[in-house]
């Protein structure tokens, strides 16, 4: 069941995934975008558990990107990541509440921070919250490195190419077009992953 769900995430994208309609509603105009990443253990399973955690924390998931495999952006030697972006809508909690819930999900899924930019079971970043700008010790919006990371921009453009960066006044698609990050970001396929293990 888990492999089947992740196969849908990786191969079909958000618009074709069959998830109960209560999770997918566009009644509220403000959207938030959350990036997910994992490179320890069952990476795909960790992404799925993070999404489940978001829905259980009363966040209404409205769209999911495909799953992408990317090289780590770190000097620390570690395995490649699986990354994706989730759109959250409907009646949103406050940005601080969203961030607190994401941190709680990370904790429950075993996220630790002993090594800066080190490997992690799950990494959840609040990228955008409508056109809101914030700069506090707890939360920075938009995410300060959003425009520099291809592994974030590729899945973001897939589900919301026209969303606007409120500080840079550029759409996500334009940010990706102008990105200086040339690292490889490719759609992940479970079949290819299993084949590489058997090679």
Alpha-carbon distance of 162 to 46, in angstroms, equals: 28
> Catalytic residue at 120?
yes
The first and second tokens of residue 40, run together, are 């320890």
> Catalytic residue at 111?
yes
Which residues, in sequence order, are CB contacts of 88 under 8 Å at separation 6+?
31, 32, 33, 34, 54, 59, 60, 61, 62, 98
> Catalytic residue at 125?
yes
Interior angle at CA 152, CA 147 and CA 155, nearest 5 = 125
The yes-or-no verdict on residue 4 having pLDDT over 80 is no
Average the pLDDT over 137-162 and give the result. Answer: 94
The yes-or-no verdict on residue 142 having pLDDT over 50 is yes
**What topology does CATH give the domain 2-198?**
Alpha-Beta Plaits (3.30.70)
Say what the pTM is: 0.82
Alpha-carbon distance of 179 to 166, in angstroms, equals: 17
Residue 193 has a pLDDT of: 54
Domain residue limits, the chain:
2-198
Above pLDDT 70, what percent of the chain? 77
The alpha carbon of residue 170 and the mean position of all alpha carbons in its chain are separated, in whole angstroms, by: 20
pLDDT digits (tens, 9 = 90+) for 68-91: 999 887 667 789 999 999 999 978
Catalytic residue among 111, 113, 149, 186: 111
> Quick check: 163 and 181 in contact, CB under 8 A?
no
Catalytic residue among 120, 131, 149, 186: 120
């Amino acid at each position: 069941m888990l492999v089947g769900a992740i196969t849908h995430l990786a191969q079909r994208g958000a618009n074709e995934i069959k998830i109960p309609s209560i999770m997918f509603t566009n009644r509220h105009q403000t959207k938030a975008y959350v990036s997910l990443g994992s490179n320890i253990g069952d990476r795909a399973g960790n992404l799925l558990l993070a999404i489940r955690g978001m829905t259980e924390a009363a966040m209404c998931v409205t769209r999911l990107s495909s799953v992408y495999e990317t090289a780590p952006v770190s000097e620390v030697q570690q395995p490649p990541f699986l990354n994706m972006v989730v759109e959250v809508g409907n009646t949103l909690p406050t940005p601080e509440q969203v961030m607190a819930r994401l941190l709680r999900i990370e904790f429950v899924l075993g996220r630790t921070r002993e090594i800066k930019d080190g490997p992690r079971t799950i990494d959840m970043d609040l990228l955008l919250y409508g056109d809101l700008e914030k700069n506090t010790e707890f939360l920075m919006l938009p995410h300060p490195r959003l425009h520099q990371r291809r592994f974030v921009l590729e899945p973001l453009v897939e589900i919301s190419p026209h969303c606007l960066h409120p500080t840079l006044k550029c759409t996500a698609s334009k940010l990706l077009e102008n990105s200086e990050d040339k690292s490889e970001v490719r759609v992940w396929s479970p079949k290819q992953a299993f084949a590489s293990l058997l090679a």
